[in-house]
Amino acid sequence: MCTAINERCTRHIFGRTLDLECSLGEHVVITPRRAPLEFLHLPKKNEHPAIIGAAHLTSSAALYYDAMNEEGLCAAALSFPLECKYLPPTGS
């Protein structure tokens, strides 16, 4: 299980726990703005804010599980193994 906390006061604070007993091969990764982003079920994106976060690196992509972009958008890949259901993609 994972927990995320997001608070807005005079500044934006974002935190989470990563409750795993093994490493994900994590690295701190910075994706510069306008670096091409390729997706599995969506078109390639060439315009986007810069991103920094913790990610697992594959030969073709950085798989972020904690990240924030330069506009303040935060994301955390939380794990709910008994509560999750994946549906097929529904177009772009």
3-state helix, strand, coil in the chain (%, to 5): 0, 45, 55
Phi-psi region of 34 (alpha: psi -120 to 50; beta: other; left: phi over 0): left
Could you say which DSSP state residue 71 is in? T
* Residue at token pair 């990610």: 55
Q: Name the catalytic one among 2, 22, 74, 84.
A: 2
Is 6 within 8 Å of 16 (Cβ atoms)? no
Q: Is 74 a catalytic residue?
A: no
Q: Which residues are catalytic?
A: 2
